[in-house]
Amino acid sequence: MPKRLVYLDNAATTPVRPEVLEAMLPYLGRDAFGNPSSAHRFGRAARAGLEEAKRTIAEALGAEPGQVIFTSGGTEADNLAVIGCALAARERGGPFRVAVSAIEHKAVLAAAHAVARLGGEEIVLPVDACGAVLEDALAAALDRGVAVVSVMWVNNEVGVVQPVAGLAARCGAAGVPFHVDGVQAFGKIPVSLAQVDCTLLTISGHKIGAPKGIGALIVRDRHAVEAIIHGGGQQFGIRPGTENVPGIIGLGRAVELAAREQADFARRVAALRDELERRVLAAVPDAVVNAAQAVRAPHVSNVSLPGTDSEALLMHLDLAGIACSSGSACSTGAVEPSHVLTAMGVPRELGVAALRFSLGRDTTAEDVEATVAVLPRIVEKVRALSAVLHR
């Protein structure tokens, strides 16, 4: 019998949904391949699809269609928000300084570094053990004056949910643009800008069943950002370049489906996640679920298995047909704990032994079963090897 393959890496990416592919096909072939900036019928057909996708996305997020700026994905949207706000502030004679949380995705952290390299300044806001940004640190940054504050809605490694509504209110009161990276939040928890008064919101297609290479930045104040790439006047000049029409159509359909299914998804996936954690803790009693005490999105579980290292675990799990990811980074050959776990105060020995399981629409109880069936044996094997190596 072929080996059962289990995919528990949905926070990394998801397969394109059949409904999404079907919606995209006319925009790849002869029916509607036109350039949406062309005035002729080919262009108009593409433009009509693009505008429809904007309306769908705006409605799902509680935004206006004119606020939807398409990008090449979450990374570009995050860069546009952070660097674009810094450039706009500098242009106005304001602070060339940005504040980002310590547990942001590299797309935000590296964008903040880029601002510093351009002669500006980056402030990294520390978080508590639950991943929440420390109030005092935010207050101090707002007092100094910043071009933008960027804090993610849901963290991609541990799933912690930030109280973004409160943070948005604090930034709003200080007159500072607030950017939320919603890449891991949309489709997983309720996401509506009617409740969160942020200036900018990032979403990415491939986390919700659209293709890779398409995302959007919701820009609620066009004066807050300046373009970071330059070209024609598309998308109000904020993000010029011929739009990725098939990708946009796919994103629109995926957003529509994800918004409609969010509550059911969350209920089903949270139950599977809880069962996975219960079974792992039963089989490996000294395992630690990271951020277990925090408010978490339903689809991510980050578990440390003491006495192991995550790279070895990943390799053995892959051989057993189970795909997940590590909570650590392998740099220069040595396993280092991730910046997220470190910022949350997780001890190093647990940080280097962390695995991230991320569940998706296709995850089943059998997947959980298959994972817990092999994990204890793999943990034992890696521990034994590690004991020999460190003797």
| Active-site annotation, residues | 330
Helix, strand, or coil here: 216? strand
Q: 277 CB contacts (<8 Å, ≥6 apart)?
A: 289, 292, 301, 303
Distance (Å) of CA 203 to CA 18, 153, 154, 243, 381? 20, 11, 12, 16, 40
Question: Of the two residues 12 and 270, which places its CB atom closer to ligand PLP in the complex?
Answer: 12
Alpha carbons 369 and 98: distance in angstroms, whole number: 45
Alpha carbons 48 and 70: distance in angstroms, whole number: 15
Question: Of the two residues 80 and 171, which places its CB atom closer to ligand PLP in the complex?
Answer: 80
DSSP string, 26-79: HHHSSSS-S-TT--SHHHHHHHHHHHHHHHHHHHHHT--GGGEEEESSHHHHHH
Least distance in Å: CB of 255 to ligand PLP? 14
Least distance in Å: CB of 273 to ligand PLP? 17
Question: Of the two residues 74 and 298, which places its CB atom closer to ligand PLP in the complex?
Answer: 74
DSSP string, 123-134: EEEPB-TTSPBP
Least distance in Å: CB of 323 to ligand PLP? 15
Query: How many angstroms from the chain centroid is the CA of residue 342?
Result: 19
Least distance in Å: CB of 254 to ligand PLP? 12
Question: Of the two residues 151 and 168, which places its CB atom closer to ligand PLP in the complex?
Answer: 151
Residues that bind ligand PLP (CB under 6 A): 73-75, 78, 105, 107, 152, 156, 181, 183-184, 204, 206, 215
Question: Of the two residues 34 and 73, which places its CB atom closer to ligand PLP in the complex?
Answer: 73
Alpha carbons 15 and 231: distance in angstroms, whole number: 32
Which residue reads 């105060």 in tokens? 345
Question: Of the two residues 11 and 382, which places its CB atom closer to ligand PLP in the complex?
Answer: 11
Residue whose CB is nearest to ligand PLP in the complex, by number: 74
Give the residue ranges of DSSP H helices in 192-309.
245-283
Least distance in Å: CB of 184 to ligand PLP? 5
Which residue reads 């339903």 in tokens? 298
Least distance in Å: CB of 325 to ligand PLP? 10
Q: 298 CB contacts (<8 Å, ≥6 apart)?
A: 159, 188, 189, 265, 266, 267, 269, 270, 273, 359
